[in-house]
């Protein structure tokens, strides 16, 4: 942003799930491209002053390249975010085959980790990538919802093969975490959001991991 002709890095102080986790002694990690590397734009906590200007910016916000080793070593926190480097982002003009491979390798690391038996993975995208959607976004509040994006739920306790037709949104992921850990809602938006719990059966026999092999992308060596 520019103020009086000078470019500054905006920092805001708003309640976050990170703050709620801190307040009850739960752990978290945010894996993203480091500053100066392609993909840093998606390191969202850079804009949250109480994180960016605290020691947790160093201890909890970690290079995305370290995610796989943390997963395989069983050192992941209670709640983890993983954002890709630009090459793995599916964001135009990045190669979607490369992005698919990055997602497969990332999820493989989780499935091969000792934490798999107690993990839920939500795979989603930050925007629709310019593709057409024939459905008008609902206006749930002054901001409304955006054009639809995919959400894939992966867990030993998700109902196998289930397709959820209920309306959900990004606040649904926040509502899920709040439900699992008994945290209060941050806003009226996540308080009203579908918390996705109907997609799970925590009494079922745990589903085994499904390790996939990334495809060879056109043009790759």
* Per-residue model confidence as pLDDT tens digits over 44-88: 999 999 999 999 999 999 999 999 999 999 999 999 999 999 999
Higher pLDDT, 112 or 142: 112
Q: What is the mean pLDDT of the chain?
A: 92
Quick: pLDDT tens for 184-207.
999 999 999 999 999 999 999 999
Across the chain, how many H-helices and E-strands are there?
Answer: 7, 7
Give pLDDT tens digits for 129-152: 887 889 888 888 888 888 899 999
Report whether pLDDT(160) > 70.
yes
What integer is the mean pLDDT of 1-26? Answer: 79
Give the predicted TM-score (pTM) of the model.
0.91
Least confident of 90-99, 118-127, 148-157: 90-99
pLDDT at position 135:
87
Helices of type H across the chain: 17-23, 49-52, 56-59, 67-72, 96-111, 170-181, 188-192
Averaged pLDDT, 174-183: 97
Per-residue pLDDT, averaged over 153-170, amounts to 95
Instruction: Write out the two tokens for 214.
Output: 């990334």
Using the predicted structure, report yes or no on whether residue 9 has a pLDDT greater than 80. Answer: no
pLDDT at position 221 over 80: no
The whole-number pLDDT of residue 133 equals 86
Q: For residues 148 and 125, what is the distance between their CA atoms, to the nearest angstrom?
A: 10
CA atoms within 13 A on the CB side of 52: 15
Query: What pLDDT score does 5 carry?
Result: 58
Indicate whether 177 pLDDT > 90. Answer: yes
Is the model's pLDDT at 4 over the cut of 60? no
pLDDT at position 2 is: 47
């Amino acid at each position: 942003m520019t103020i009086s002709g000078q470019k500054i890095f905006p920092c805001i102080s708003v309640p976050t799930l990170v703050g709620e986790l801190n307040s009850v002694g739960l752990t978290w990690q945010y894996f993203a491209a480091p500053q100066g590397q392609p993909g840093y734009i998606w390191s969202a906590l850079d804009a949250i002053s109480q994180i960016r200007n605290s020691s947790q910016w160093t201890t909890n916000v970690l290079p995305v390249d370290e995610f796989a080793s943390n997963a395989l070593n069983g050192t992941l926190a209670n709640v983890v975010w993983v954002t890709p480097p630009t090459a793995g982002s599916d964001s135009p003009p990045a190669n979607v085959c490369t992005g698919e491979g990055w997602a497969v390798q990332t999820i493989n690391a989780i499935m091969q980790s000792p934490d798999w038996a107690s993990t839920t993975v939500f795979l989603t995208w930050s925007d629709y990538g310019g593709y057409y959607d024939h459905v008008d976004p609902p206006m749930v509040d002054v901001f409304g919802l955006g054009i639809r994006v995919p959400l894939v739920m992966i867990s030993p306790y998700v109902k196998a093969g289930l397709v959820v037709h209920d309306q959900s949104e990004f606040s649904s992921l926040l509502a899920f975490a709040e439900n699992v850990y008994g945290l209060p809602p941050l806003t009226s938006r996540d308080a009203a959001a579908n918390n996705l719990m109907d997609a799970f059966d925590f009494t079922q026999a745990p589903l085994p991991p499904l390790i996939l092999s990334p495809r060879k992308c056109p043009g790759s060596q």
